[in-house]
Structure 1
Amino acid sequence: MNRNKLVASILLFSLLLIAGCGNLLKSKEDTDASSSDGDKKGTEEEVKGDSEETANLGDYHIVLSGDVKEEGDQFIIEGKSNLIPGSRIVGEVVVDEGETVFSDTSELIDDDGSFYMELEHHQYGEAEIIVRFDFDGVQEDEVKRHYGEKGQKLEGPFIYKHETYDGILKKAEAKIAYEPGGANDLTMKAPEWNDLPEDYGDPRVWIEVDDITEDGEFFYVSGRSNILEGSEIKVDYKYNRDKTQVKPDGSFEFKFDYEYLEDQEIVITFEPSAWQWNEIEEAYGSTGQKLVGNLVVSDKYNTDKQYIEKRIPWDNKSAQSSNSENGSNSDDTDADDDSKNNSDADDEEENPDEE
């Protein structure tokens, strides 16, 4: 009897042990399966992320980013882009207010869209560091086919138009201002443009001056317009002058020598006949004949020519809509002065002995 109980106990223990081992094996299989699914999902997400990043390469809406570091006698640029691999970009250090290229380099975009540049540091004074992707120089045929022979497919806030012997081209350009001893943010950032005016490019031209300041050495004038990008406009303050090109959103900036003058206006002019791009001449007429509105002035030496003139009195910084108002006011003032002088003369003739 005792022997039978012992055998039964051993059998029961064996069954329980087998069942427990089975549960452990099933639990391990479930864990392994779950882990495998997790790894597979993670791998799929990584592949998807890499695929999305790769898909952005070659997008026509160009993106540039990165930082510039000062290391000894060099500027080091570590940047990223969505340009296709093999695209050629140029780096420059420009001094003398944009007049002189102090140092430059040319590099190719890596497979992941990144790039690396070393530029000689100018050491003294202000400078502008420029990273540019254009079609002025050498680009592979594959790059030209993708973005267009003249970069005409390029889009986004980094894009500017410029003129070459081959016509009007587009380029992607990032500009970074450098000031010696200052707290420089040497980061590539997209410009923040205004929304394009609804009447952008219309021959009824308007110009608004937003700000006029001076520091005792220079005047700084900034404003907006509906004039086409690339149009050359000029400013005159008696003998102090500057010229600039209208930016992609119609805005503009001038910097010219400061001089204290009384009763002198700041005058901004736009002349379609003065060496403008072909597309600008087409929009406004080669002699400005398509221009209309209250800023239009006829050339006093050639009545077939018209141009735009905006006059801004410096005293109160308010803008006049046209010079005709100023001319009429001036004539009225002169007439009043003449009338007053004539009246005084008549009084003296009537009373010659009063003294």
Structure 2
Amino acid sequence: MTKNGKWVLRHRPQAALVETDLDWVQEALPELRDGELLVRNIYLSLDPTNRIWMSDREQYLPPVQIGDTMRGTTIGVVEQSRSDRFAPGDIVMPAMGGWQDYTVSPERMTRKLNVAPGIPLTAYLSVLGPTGLTAYFGLLDIGQPKEGETLVLSAAAGAVGSIAGQIGKIKGCHVVGIAGGAAKCDWLTEELGFDGAVDYKAQEVGAALDRLCPTGIDIDFENVGGAIMEAVFSRLNRNGRMILCGLISAYNDEGPVPGPADFGRILMQRLTVRGFIVIDYLARAGEAFADLGRWIAEGRIKWKDHVVPGLEKAPDSLQLLFTGQHDGKLLIRVSDEP
């Protein structure tokens, strides 16, 4: 019988993930029941929220329990099926396939992917997957950009920020990204068409924003928190909007996450600060994918997928999200594509 290798949560991390927090185990696969599929996972998405799921802090999904398989989003191929709706060879996305070689997925929690010619399979976990949805609805539904407004994005070279910034350009915004390193900043301006980029590792962020956003900031697509968020927040114009997508700078810390120091600015400048989670928008995914697919076909959106081979590398690779040593969407290649 085929063995299933997987990562199991053993300890809740107290800071950055360490080797003893997860265990690699191998187990026999169970027999399929009616309505179930055996999916061989091909790609696993690594996301900042993985670190949140390992903790027992307040969050939007129940924490991963000690002894459970680590949660994660995957794309895979059906190896066996006891469902009339799926056949072996189908490319599918199970609901939370997990950090494992195989997933036994109920048919009602499995989505079949219709892979378009010329589009890499990895794109369905990035620009045409959850990160694309996050960028699309975060900017358009919450940010409500208007032509001529100034949009600033933190973690702008990441999977979400890079897509959201390009959508901002499509909508006629003046777009400035904050990223770590000259190469990432050059990619934003030279390849993606951003109007400016701030290298937070080499520049004083506030001074750079003053130079690149001379009329202030109308929209903050916030992915980072901390000092970078503070620099953008303090420059938001009247009726400005903060799209609170992530706070990755605090995910390895315990305790409450600090907010802007000058909370009264929200009142005086009539600011809107709204957090959101992409699962709130899954029912509207079709409208996002229609626009994203068209913009990709027109050459108006570009993206990067950073693929690390081998499920055994997932724990170490997760740290790349917190050090910035990745380009675009971070994925693990669990097995070969069909």
* TM-score bin (small chain): under 0.3
Structure with the higher helix share, 1 or 2: 2
Which of 1 and 2 has higher RCO (CA within 8 Å, sep 6+)? 2
- TM-score, normalised on structure 2? 0.23
Structure with the higher strand share, 1 or 2: 1
Q: Which has the larger radius of gyration?
A: 1
